[in-house]
Amino acid sequence: MQEPTTFNMVSRLKLISNSVIESTLTYKELVPAIEKCLANFSAGKVVQPLRSVVPVEPHNGLLFSMCAHDTSEDVLALKNVALYPDNHKQGLSSHLTQVLYFQPSTGALLAVMDGESITAMRTAAASVVATKYLAKEDSKVLSILGAGVQAYSHAKALTSSFKFDKIFIWNRTQSTGEKFCEEIKHLAKVVKFCPSTKEAVCDADVIVTATFSSTPILHGQDLKESVHINSVGACTPHLRELDDRCMELCAVIADSRVSALAESGDIISAKKEVLCEVGNIINGEVEVNRTRRTLFKSLGIAVEDVTAANLVWEKVGKQQPVGF
Ligand SMILES: NC(=O)C1=CN([C@@H]2O[C@H](COP(=O)(O)OP(=O)(O)OC[C@H]3O[C@@H](n4cnc5c(N)ncnc54)[C@H](O)[C@@H]3O)[C@@H](O)[C@H]2O)C=CC1
Ligand SMILES: O=C([O-])C1=[NH+]CCC1
């Protein structure tokens, strides 16, 4: 009898596209699931090595490989991200990603999922969780720096969880920023493009930074006394989005302390301490004063992809069970 191998199982593999994932995943289900996985992660219930990053220098690309096993949920997956900021010139997304979803008991590959929507949505869901625990409860003004995929998912996720009266947008390219404002104008009473980051953030209660900038775009001198920042970009040691003053003023909370200290250009360059992981706050181990300046440093961790992929599997993948 022929032994089942990955190759002769291929006909039974589920391929799950972005469009299916977009019509399947909702923030209503994803946010609590991400909250739980961040709590599991900080409670030591997740096996997750630091992701590997291969620079593809001639093409200004990076290939990330991220894997985790959530032991309390028994879910196993691996995500690849090809991060090529110049891809837009060829009409391609800057992040090309796939999630491989495994049967933990055998290691059999059950599904290959498009990773773009999973990445966009799980990152925004993690920021919603951080905002829930760290921002002032009466936050009314949201500011987003950037107008790409993450800016969009954050606008959608944050407004589906909190009520903002005003959203201020800044983007390096004004025309793209204005187009983005038009797309999200239904999300708040006022949605306005601002020509400078100072104008965009000076009244903000909650700020999102989601760009490819390599130099600071958010400056401490422009922040209110009480503000919460979700810092989503600058996920490699040579990139920065926040200046030293901003880092000095804020209490820094990360998704993963290990990832933050190894990967965050802002934390490494400013020699900033990480107060705790957001999971420590969820688990009731640390309390943070919401009326001070707080910064959630999101690097993106594999267990978030594992969690999102598991929701997709439970909702659309399971109908055709895969097994030997
Ligand atoms: N923390 C996490 O879990 C994740 C973080 N990211 C990071 O978030 C950031 C945004 O990602 P996407 O929205 O998917 O990318 P995107 O390609 O859709 O958008 C990129 C944005 O950055 C802006 N930008 C590009 N170069 C810039 C510069 N030099 N200065 C200022 N703005 C610049 C563009 O105008 C655009 O608004 C990237 O740094 C990305 O690597 C992405 C996925 C997950
Ligand atoms: O977690 C993630 O998917 C990523 N973080 C930075 C680039 C992609």
CA of 300 to the centre of ligand 2 (A): 5
pTM of the complete model: 0.97
Q: Which ligand is nearest to the CA of 298?
A: 1
| pLDDT band for position 10 (cuts 50, 70, 90) | low
With 80 as the cut, is the pLDDT of residue 321 above it? no
Report the nearest-CA residue for atom 4 of ligand 2: 300
Q: Which ligand is nearest to the CA of 66?
A: 2
- Which atom of ligand 2 is closest in space to residue 302's alpha carbon? 1
> Which tens digit of pLDDT belongs to each residue from 211-255?
999 999 999 999 999 999 999 999 999 999 999 999 999 999 999
298 lines ligand 1 (CB under 6 A): yes
With 50 as the cut, is the pLDDT of residue 52 above it? yes
Domains defined for the chain, CATH in brackets: 6-118+303-317 (3.30.1780.10), 130-301 (3.40.50.720)
pLDDT at 318: 79
Interstrand relation of 75-83 and 61-70 (parallel, antiparallel or unpaired):
antiparallel
- Which atom of ligand 1 is closest in space to residue 126's alpha carbon? 3
* Vertex 280: Cα angle to 275 and 281 (nearest 5): 90
With 80 as the cut, is the pLDDT of residue 5 above it? no
Q: How far apart are CA 81 and CA 156, in angstroms?
A: 23
pLDDT at 324: 34
82 lines ligand 2 (CB under 6 A): no
pLDDT at 273: 98
With 80 as the cut, is the pLDDT of residue 4 above it? no
Give me the helices (H) in the chain, please. Answer: 6-9, 18-24, 27-42, 116-134, 149-161, 174-183, 197-201, 244-249, 257-263, 265-270, 278-282, 302-312
With 70 as the cut, is the pLDDT of residue 8 above it? no
Q: 83 near 61, Cβ under 8 Å? A: yes
CA of 214 to the centre of ligand 2 (A): 16
> Which tens digit of pLDDT belongs to each residue from 68-84?
999 999 999 999 999 99
Mean pLDDT across the stretch 280-308? Answer: 97
Mean pLDDT across the stretch 195-218? Answer: 98
With 60 as the cut, is the pLDDT of residue 17 above it? yes
CA of 281 to the centre of ligand 2 (A): 23
232 lines ligand 1 (CB under 6 A): yes
Q: Residue 270: CB partners within 8 Å, gap ≥ 6? A: 242, 244, 247, 248
Report the nearest-CA residue for atom 41 of ligand 1: 233
* Vertex 167: Cα angle to 202 and 308 (nearest 5): 115
- Which atom of ligand 2 is closest in space to residue 83's alpha carbon? 7
More confident: 322 or 122:
122
The region, left, alpha or beta by phi > 0 then psi within -120 to 50, assigned to residue 271 is left
- The residue assigned the tokens 């609590």 is 32
Q: How far apart are CA 236 and CA 37, in angstroms?
A: 23
How many Cα neighbours within 13 Å face the side chain of 150?
A: 27
CA of 233 to the centre of ligand 2 (A): 9
With 80 as the cut, is the pLDDT of residue 49 above it? yes
| Strand-pair partners of 169 | 144, 193
Cβ atoms within 10 A of the Cβ of 159, count?
Answer: 17
With 70 as the cut, is the pLDDT of residue 201 above it? yes
Handedness of CA 159, 162, 168, 171 (dihedral sign): negative
300 lines ligand 2 (CB under 6 A): yes
